[in-house]
Chain A
Amino acid sequence: MCLSLSTLQIIKFKNLETPAAPMVESRDASDDLIIIKVSSLLVKFGGTTILNNISLDLREGEIFGIVGMSGSGKTTLLNTLMGVIEPMNGTVFYKPQQIIRTREDRTQFRSIRSDPDNLKRTFGFSAQNPSFYTKLTVRENLDFFGTLNGLPREVKETNMEILLDLVGLTKAKDQLAERLSGGMQKRLDIACALIHNPHVLILDEPTADLDPVLRRQMWDLIRKINHRGTTVILASHFLEELETLCNRIAILFDREIVAVGTPLELQARFRSGEIVLVQTVSQSYGKLVSRLKDEFKLLEHHFVERHGKLEIRVPEVQVLIEELSEARDLDPKAAEKLIVPSLSAARVLERVMRICEQLGEQPTYLVASKADLDHIFEAIVSGGKR
């Protein structure tokens, strides 16, 4: 790998498109569908910039994911949407609940600063740490927050019944909240966020402390909620979760939104190619890597060992060529003359099997797949090395 003094900075942004425009969409969305518009949001706290030039639109009925590292500003962005944090600059407009429901004048947006109460009725929020009274029962919590949201008694009772059934807490409705399990507490929190039947539900790390089984249950719940017509904004650093649930994902990195799109759009955009996962009995992959490098002209960064498995990132040919050119400081055009074998995950997989056989290694796991969000994200974080 060849680094120069002046190119250190370049590495970070290599092959990443920093959006100059507020957002890049795979298709244009009309105002009819958009319910939240965020433009050039700047949030500072104590002199430190937390969010910089954030712009995105959220559509009605979608599950919108926000992914970023810890401390990247996901929670801040969500709280800014809720009106809890005031931005220093930029705007956040939303369609109030009654307008969405009645379909009246669908172009009428309101700023989150103009009518905070309406904003709070339109949005429901479930934070990373469940927020309810531990010394009240499930039912009492729902009743309390229903009252705070100004619900009439009948509406409140109806909503409580529906929600208890939805989140699966009907049997536990008279239990003290502190006695519920982690997953049940999370569901109670979501129920409290939904008691006033908001049109937008914001979830901050909904499955952060849950085991895989409960996590999947939570995914099912989120889907059910979304199927009822609630738009969901989901912040998480579980990439699998976002890929599974979200219609669209925004990647938050270095205080900015670096990409927004469907998982497929992001994969295509970052040209992260395909992935081959291999695991052998010995879990020693030095020779295999060396052979693959020679055969396919792959570079060091195309190989990642993780959890005992070897992950081979199969880039698209053009990408590989560009990487090779840079690494060898060759003229790109001249690099086209390099003989680069056609690459595909299937071909690499086949080759891996043969090499293992030759080396006397016994593979126990072999998978070829498209690169997932995990890889995209890592590519972004690590500077998108090619």
Chain B
Amino acid sequence: MSAMMKVVGKNLKLLIRSKSSALVVILGPLLVTLLVGLAFNNSTLFNLKVATFSPQYDELTTSFLDKLQEQNFLVTRFDNEENCVESVKLGVSHACMVFPPGLDIAAAEGNEIAFYVDNSRVNIVYTIMDTISAGISSRTREISSGLVQVLVDTLGKTKENAEKENANVLKLIEQNEQVRARQKEIEGKLSSLDLSVESGDFNIGGLRASYDGRLTELYDTDSKIRISLNESREILDGMSDPNATSVEEQLTSIENELDDLGVNGTDWVALTALFDDLDETVTQVSGQLSAAGSARSDVSGITGAVKATLDTNLNTVMTVKGSLGQMASDISAVEITDVGGIVSPIRTRVEPVAARTYISFLYPSLVSLLVMFTSVLLGSTLIMSEKRSRAFFRNLISPIKSTLFVYSTYVTVLIVLGIQLVIVFALTEWGLKIPVLRNLPSVLFLTFIVTTVFTLMGILIGSLFSSEETATMAAISTSSAMLFLSNLILPLESMPQYLQQVARFNPFVISEHLLRQTILFKQPIGGLLGESYFAEFIPAVYLLLIYVSVLFMAVLLLLNVVQKMYLFRHVLGITKRESVSAASKSDGSLAELLERGKSQLAAGQLQEARGTYIAINESYTRLSQGEKKHFYPKIVQFHEQLDKAPR
């Protein structure tokens, strides 16, 4: 147990004594943890970009966009659907909303908004859909609420009116009862009428006979009159009165009228009797009629009342009719009556831009991961193993350029990674049946650049550090930091804004993005070169090329410096030994030198002790006279010890 603890203690000492090891071993994980904490210490998404396309941006459409902007979405309008969808594939937008033409709440059909999302980003796509859908649903709920409110208001008003007209209806019912009563009354009255009349009562035969009689009388009269008239005339004829003419005329006239009267008979006498009879009958009838008249009066009174009641009822009915009409009108005014349209006035449809399985979604990320870790670790390991190799010194003194090993390491990593990728691609294409080789030139081109970036990074790390464990720790820490600051674990959109800006320049993020373009979306090389992930100033591929240049320059600059330092410290050991010798010669106080010399002598390190004696000598010359007096006996004593020491 104690031996084990001893070894553990020795290991810790070795780690700590190398400053770079201590730095990397202790600070590396802390830094990574700090980064992760900063990146993921929140639960929301930031800077979600939504592209939109609509044939017309009317009030309804704009209301949706405003709602999204209220929820901190960055909304970009596109002028055609293809560009909108393409922006999702390119990663410029997280989703594309396509509004249908003529979006109208009243329309039962065609109110469907299509969402195009990149479902290859499995760790964010559902969050994006949920978040955007929440925004859309919010607006839809507002619209739906509005529609329902209209219905509710209409119902309320209808109910109010119905309650109001109910009183009228009750009144109608009451009055209807009254009419019924009156009707009964009329019926009674009418039934009491005696309208039975016998024709015989009128004695018409008798009337006729009477008439004939009367007529004869009348005829007699007529004859008398005529006789009178003739007499008159005769009188007249005998007169010479001026008015005789006129009287003649009048007599004539009377004669005429008698003629007109046509009475020659005795009809008139009978007639008078008949008339008396008739008069009597009439009187009787008259009496009956009077009674009927009274009844009629009564009925008239009743019907008048009924009429009034009916009039009133009619008004009431009209009023009710009016109300009912208003209700109908109100109900007709409700535009949306379709239940589905009220509950979901606007529907959504999700369209994936890349319809694949989960493995194919993750595939670009997995390839990036493989390339990154292999390149960084292998690059640093190869450089470090070269440095630590016993042949390092001989390589240094061989007539070759110092960059030869950098290029060799690079080519070695390319070959190893190439073999790995061939196997991976072959397995994926023919084993997992994922078509990854359809866009092979682009994939190869991009993989080459990505490998270059990470290999140079690994070479730089291997050049910077002097021990294998430190270099390995640094390589792992660097790769882990890049991994955490990427989309692979949690989406970048869940990080704070400032970290997102940093993460966008993460080579792993760029690689993953570009590989997704080539593998999933089959972007050609030309498309990659023009790809505008960093639309503000530079395509992503050029950024990777910049990284290649910068890393290569850094490696070249560091190579000579680091190699020489490594050579001096670890291969030649010049600094340590010489600095010790120098220290033994001139460093430290005289007292320390004396102590050191004695210790060396006691340890049998005769030559070292002699070197220390030389340093003592040198230091002695710089002492003041008083100090010289003080140290002189001690130096002599050391001198004698040195002299007597066994060779």
Number of A residues near B (Cβ < 8 Å) is 56
Residues of chain A lying within 8 A (CB to CB) of residue B394: 125, 127, 131-132, 145, 192-193
CB atoms of B610 and A150 under 8 A apart:
no
* CB contact under 8 A between A45 and B574, given known A131-B391, A149-B398, A304-B647: yes
Residues of chain A lying within 8 A (CB to CB) of residue B582: 48-49
CB atoms of B398 and A71 under 8 A apart:
no
Further contacts, 20 of them, CB under 8 A, given A9-B621, A75-B572, A148-B400: A1-B640, A3-B632, A3-B639, A5-B628, A8-B635, A45-B575, A48-B582, A71-B577, A71-B578, A72-B581, A120-B397, A120-B398, A123-B397, A125-B394, A131-B391, A132-B391, A145-B394, A254-B585, A301-B643, A381-B607
CB atoms of B399 and A5 under 8 A apart:
no
Residues of chain B lying within 8 A (CB to CB) of residue A125: 393-394, 397
B-contact 0/1 string along A126-168, CB 8 Å cutoff: 0101111110000001000100111000000000000000000
CA A99 – CA B565 in complex, angstroms? 33
Residues of chain B lying within 8 A (CB to CB) of residue A240: none
Residues of chain B lying within 8 A (CB to CB) of residue A116: 399
In this assembly, does A378 line the interface, its C-beta being within 8 Å of a C-beta of chain B?
yes
CB atoms of B398 and A134 under 8 A apart:
no
CB atoms of A71 and B397 under 8 A apart:
no
Residues of chain B lying within 8 A (CB to CB) of residue A130: 390
CB distance from A202 to the nearest CB of B (A): 9
In this assembly, does A121 line the interface, its C-beta being within 8 Å of a C-beta of chain B?
yes
CA A50 – CA B266 in complex, angstroms? 191
Interface of A is mostly: mixed
Closest 3 CB pairs of A and B: A71-B581, A131-B394, A117-B399
Residues of chain B lying within 8 A (CB to CB) of residue A134: 389-390
CB atoms of A71 and B580 under 8 A apart:
yes
In this assembly, does A382 line the interface, its C-beta being within 8 Å of a C-beta of chain B?
yes
Select A69's contact among B396, B579, B610, B621, beta carbons within 8 Å: B610
Residue of A whose beta carbon sits closest to that of B394: A131
CA A83 – CA B398 in complex, angstroms? 11
In this assembly, does A305 line the interface, its C-beta being within 8 Å of a C-beta of chain B?
yes
B-contact 0/1 string along A85-124, CB 8 Å cutoff: 1000000000000000000000000000000111011010
CA A85 – CA B622 in complex, angstroms? 32
CB atoms of A8 and B607 under 8 A apart:
no
Residues of chain B lying within 8 A (CB to CB) of residue A262: none
CB atoms of A46 and B390 under 8 A apart:
no
In this assembly, does A336 line the interface, its C-beta being within 8 Å of a C-beta of chain B?
no
In this assembly, does A344 line the interface, its C-beta being within 8 Å of a C-beta of chain B?
no
Residues of chain B lying within 8 A (CB to CB) of residue A83: 397
Interface of B is mostly: helix
Residues of chain A lying within 8 A (CB to CB) of residue B392: 131
CB atoms of A127 and B393 under 8 A apart:
yes
CB distance from B174 to the nearest CB of A (A): 119
Number of B residues near A (Cβ < 8 Å) is 44
In this assembly, does A84 line the interface, its C-beta being within 8 Å of a C-beta of chain B?
yes
CB atoms of B607 and A84 under 8 A apart:
no
B-contact 0/1 string along A175-214, CB 8 Å cutoff: 0000000000000000011000000000000000000000
CB atoms of B397 and A73 under 8 A apart:
no
CB distance from A66 to the nearest CB of B (A): 15
Select B399's contact among A8, A120, A381, beta carbons within 8 Å: A120
CA A69 – CA B391 in complex, angstroms? 26
In this assembly, does B636 line the interface, its C-beta being within 8 Å of a C-beta of chain A?
yes
The A33-86 residues at the B interface (CB cut-off 8 A) are 45-46, 48-50, 69-73, 75-76, 79, 82-85
Residues of chain A lying within 8 A (CB to CB) of residue B391: 131-133, 141
Select B393's contact among A46, A120, A131, beta carbons within 8 Å: A131
CB distance from B348 to the nearest CB of A (A): 63
A-contact 0/1 string along B245-288, CB 8 Å cutoff: 00000000000000000000000000000000000000000000
Residue of A whose beta carbon sits closest to that of B621: A9
CA A9 – CA B571 in complex, angstroms? 36
Listed residue (B389, B620, B629, B647) with the most chain A CB atoms within 10 angstroms of its CB: B647
CA A70 – CA B620 in complex, angstroms? 23
Interface residues of A (CB under 8 A from B): 1, 3, 5, 8-9, 11-12, 45-46, 48-50, 69-73, 75-76, 79, 82-85, 116-118, 120-121, 123, 125, 127, 129-134, 141, 145, 148-150, 192-193, 254, 300-301, 304-306, 311, 378, 381-382, 385
CB atoms of B614 and A70 under 8 A apart:
no
Select B647's contact among A49, A50, A117, A306, beta carbons within 8 Å: A306
CB distance from A321 to the nearest CB of B (A): 21
* CB contact under 8 A between A69 and B607, given known A5-B629, A75-B574, A79-B572: yes
CB atoms of A132 and B399 under 8 A apart:
no
CB atoms of A45 and B610 under 8 A apart:
no
Residues of chain B lying within 8 A (CB to CB) of residue A85: 568, 574
CB atoms of A305 and B632 under 8 A apart:
no
CA A305 – CA B644 in complex, angstroms? 9
CB atoms of A305 and B581 under 8 A apart:
no
CB distance from A132 to the nearest CB of B (A): 5
In this assembly, does B617 line the interface, its C-beta being within 8 Å of a C-beta of chain A?
yes
The B221-260 residues at the A interface (CB cut-off 8 A) are none
CA A145 – CA B390 in complex, angstroms? 13
Residues of chain B lying within 8 A (CB to CB) of residue A12: 614, 617
Residues of chain A lying within 8 A (CB to CB) of residue B579: 46, 48
CA A254 – CA B608 in complex, angstroms? 12
In this assembly, does B395 line the interface, its C-beta being within 8 Å of a C-beta of chain A?
yes
* CB contact under 8 A between A129 and B390, given known A84-B567, A254-B614: yes
CB atoms of B575 and A82 under 8 A apart:
no
CA A228 – CA B398 in complex, angstroms? 22
Residues of chain B lying within 8 A (CB to CB) of residue A132: 390-391, 394
Q: List 24 A-B contacts (CB under 8 A).
A: A1-B640, A5-B628, A5-B629, A8-B617, A8-B632, A9-B621, A69-B607, A71-B580, A71-B611, A76-B578, A79-B572, A85-B574, A125-B393, A129-B571, A130-B390, A131-B391, A131-B393, A131-B394, A133-B390, A133-B391, A148-B398, A148-B399, A150-B399, A382-B643
The B164-184 residues at the A interface (CB cut-off 8 A) are none
CB atoms of B577 and A70 under 8 A apart:
yes
In this assembly, does B205 line the interface, its C-beta being within 8 Å of a C-beta of chain A?
no
CA A117 – CA B395 in complex, angstroms? 12
* CB contact under 8 A between A148 and B610, given known A8-B617, A9-B617, A46-B575: no
CA A82 – CA B168 in complex, angstroms? 124
In this assembly, does B200 line the interface, its C-beta being within 8 Å of a C-beta of chain A?
no
CA A305 – CA B582 in complex, angstroms? 30
CB atoms of B578 and A73 under 8 A apart:
yes
CB distance from A50 to the nearest CB of B (A): 5
CA A311 – CA B646 in complex, angstroms? 11
* CB contact under 8 A between A69 and B611, given known A48-B579, A132-B394: yes
* CB contact under 8 A between A149 and B620, given known A69-B611, A76-B574, A133-B391: no
CB distance from A77 to the nearest CB of B (A): 11
CB distance from A275 to the nearest CB of B (A): 12
CA A120 – CA B395 in complex, angstroms? 11
CB atoms of B578 and A5 under 8 A apart:
no
CA A84 – CA B611 in complex, angstroms? 26
CA A301 – CA B394 in complex, angstroms? 45
Residues of chain B lying within 8 A (CB to CB) of residue A149: 398-399
Residues of chain B lying within 8 A (CB to CB) of residue A150: 399
Residues of chain A lying within 8 A (CB to CB) of residue B395: 148
Residue of A whose beta carbon sits closest to that of B583: A48
CB atoms of A131 and B577 under 8 A apart:
no
Residue of B whose beta carbon sits closest to that of A304: B647
Residue of A whose beta carbon sits closest to that of B640: A1
CB atoms of A145 and B614 under 8 A apart:
no
The B562-606 residues at the A interface (CB cut-off 8 A) are 567-568, 571-572, 574-575, 577-582, 585
Listed residue (B400, B574, B617, B643) with the most chain A CB atoms within 10 angstroms of its CB: B574
A-contact 0/1 string along B366-404, CB 8 Å cutoff: 000000000000000000000001111111111110000
CA A48 – CA B580 in complex, angstroms? 10
CA A141 – CA B396 in complex, angstroms? 15
Residues of chain A lying within 8 A (CB to CB) of residue B647: 304, 306, 311, 378
Residues of chain B lying within 8 A (CB to CB) of residue A76: 572, 574, 578
